[in-house]
Structure 1
Amino acid sequence: MKKLIMQTKVLEKKSRYRIVRILVICLCLALIAGCGKTSSKKTTEEEGSDYVDVSELSRLNSDIFAWIRIPEAGIDYPVLQRGDGDDSFYQTHDYLGKEDPKGAIYIEAANLNDMCDFNEVLHGSSPSDGTMFAPLSKFLDQEFFDEHKYIYVYMKGNALIYYTFAAYLREDTRLLEQYDFSYASGCQQFLDEIYSRSMSKIVREGWENQVQPDNFIITLSTVDPSSGKQLVVVGCLVGDVAGKIDRYVDYGDPDDF
């Protein structure tokens, strides 16, 4: 079984990212500057700060490992992973572990909380008050999608930038069960789903078939209240301030085992 090691150095990476490279450099510099601030620690009570101190937040709840921000969509929340592996807990509890029907933004136990999986799937509800992941529905509007390109994820000692390249409705299935992302073949199967022709899908112009199994993606997932389908917004990693995001890409055949 052949394994290829791939390190993410996206600012020097493949030519298909040249169209966003200058913008990403500027954004990374801004993130580095933000991560260096010590007088503006963002907690859930300090709205308006431009710095997220994840270490401080994890003292409130050790399940907090990151913070996601999409400013234009009004998404600005901690990201959690339940320490005991109960993937249903944060469907009905807030970021402090208190009962709340809106839940929290979380990843499943099957995902790595260092964001080094091929596909990090973040789940959130879509309550009627427009909070949590309800604003993801805005990305189904072509004009909004075209104008809003970046997803920011802050972690302990790192900050990541993802470039949104797809948004669409799909059957409400568990992605981490439907596709085996531990193999390149499973990664490609999901990418094929994204790139398959459909009137309801939005794929950013010029990005068709450009993201490959050796990239890193983030999938923001919620249930669309109007259709009952799963609404996903997918982004590709284009900025890794600390250079920590890497993994082995297994091009072997999973049927061999």
Structure 2
Amino acid sequence: MVLVGAILSSVGEKSKKKKADEDEPEKKKKSGLNPKIILFTGLVIVFGSVAGFLFIYMGYQKSNDLYNNLNEKYVNLSETNQQWYDMMDVDVSSLEAINPDVIGWLYVEGTDISYPILYSGDDDKYLRMTMDGESATAGSIFLEGYNLPNFADSHNVIYGHNMRNLSMFGSLKFYKTDDNYLQEHKYFQIITADKKYRYEIFSYFDTDAAFWVYGVPYSDSDEFGDYISELLNHSYKDIEIGKDLTSKDKVTTLSTCSTSGRRFTVHGYLCETY
């Protein structure tokens, strides 16, 4: 009986081992990943990333080419002139003939911020569209829709994208990251078909997208005086401008994206007109 039991036990162990050996390939097949699928997935990710990069790059290049051509054809820059109003001449009338929504030209002195200013009354129109009507990530520089298109308001707001290649308003960030930047670039100009306006920067800071800073227009002088005081109080830096600002001054704000849900704003007061 002992012998029979041993034989049966041996047969049982062999049967279990055989079954385990038969099941093993099936388990491996279920848990393994097909190398071809892995390779295909990897290629899809790589090609998708490359395509996305090329799409962004081509969009940037398209905008750069347009605005470079406009600067070459319609702008005469001569920063060696002693008078500020002789630094830049722009054929705004010809630009208006191309697109009636062109109302002027913005130039931050000594920088690459040199673009036409668009106005349609609709803040969405030029958000992703160039002045020639083409779709582009960089869009256009445009004036707030609630403003008057002749820059007569006490407060004007001009918008531009914060582009990674520093085009449009991408270089405005240097005001808060470079201590010497303001000293070298204290002024910006708005050039129209018949006038030139020069603004001296007196404040800059980050703010919420729906903050009071975007209030336009101001009809009450006392309220506008309080607004200017708030701009000074919120500034990242106390800026010496050689005068005390009052409710009679005119202010233009340059606004661009900052961190998520935030905006970076640069504020200048009208110091000279030509």
TM, length-normalised to structure 2: 0.65
Q: Which has the larger radius of gyration?
A: 2
- State the Cα deviation string for residues 136-194 of structure 1 (Å, max 9, x = none): 11111331112221101110111111111111111222657646512113312321221
C-alpha distance in 1 between matches for 2:214 and 2:169: 21
- Structure 1 55/115 Cα, relative in aligned 2: closer, same or farther at 3 Å? same
Q: Which amino acid aligns with 1:46?
A: K
- State the Cα deviation string for residues 181-214 of structure 1 (Å, max 9, x = none): 1211331232122122x5x612312568x21110
C-alpha distance in 2 between matches for 1:176 and 1:148: 22
- Structure 1 93/235 Cα, relative in aligned 2: closer, same or farther at 3 Å? same
Q: Which amino acid aligns with 1:147?
A: E
Aligned residues of 2:109 and 2:185 also touching (Cα < 8 A): no
Q: Which amino acid aligns with 2:143?
A: I
Structure 2 matches for 1:96-111, cutoff 5 A?
A: 96-111=132-147
C-alpha distance in 2 between matches for 1:235 and 1:120: 10
C-alpha distance in 1 between matches for 2:141 and 2:148: 15
Which blocks of at least 5 consecutive residues in structure 1 are unaligned?
1-41, 242-257
Structure richer in helix, relative to its length = 2
Which among 137, 150, 160 is matched to residue 114 of structure 1? 150
Q: Return the structure number with greater relative CO, CA threshold 8 A, min gap 6.
A: 1
Q: Which residue of 2 aligns with 1:232?
A: 265
- Structure 1 120/126 Cα, relative in aligned 2: closer, same or farther at 3 Å? same
- Structure 1 207/168 Cα, relative in aligned 2: closer, same or farther at 3 Å? farther
Which blocks of at least 5 consecutive residues in structure 2 are unaligned?
1-68, 78-88
C-alpha distance in 1 between matches for 2:182 and 2:115: 20
Q: Which residue of 1 aligns with 2:236?
A: 201
Q: Secondary structure at the match of 1:156?
A: coil
Q: Which residue of 2 aligns with 1:217?
A: 251
Q: Which residue of 1 aligns with 2:185?
A: 148
Which moves more between the two structures, 229-238 or 173-182?
Answer: 173-182
Does structure 1 residue 80 correspond to structure 2 residue 122? no
Q: Secondary structure at the match of 1:142?
A: coil
Q: Which amino acid aligns with 2:113?
A: I
Q: Which residue of 1 aligns with 2:76?
A: 49
Q: Which amino acid aligns with 1:52?
A: V
Number of aligned pairs?
194
Query: What is the CA distance between 1:48 and its match in structure 2?
Result: 6.5
- Structure 1 103/203 Cα, relative in aligned 2: closer, same or farther at 3 Å? farther
Q: Which amino acid aligns with 2:76?
A: S
Q: Which amino acid aligns with 2:240?
A: E
Q: Secondary structure at the match of 1:89?
A: coil
Query: What is the CA distance between 1:118 and its match in structure 2?
Result: 0.7
TM, length-normalised to structure 1: 0.69
State, as a whole percentage, how many aligned pairs show the same letter: 25
Q: Secondary structure at the match of 1:90?
A: coil
Aligned residues of 1:67 and 1:78 also touching (Cα < 8 A): yes
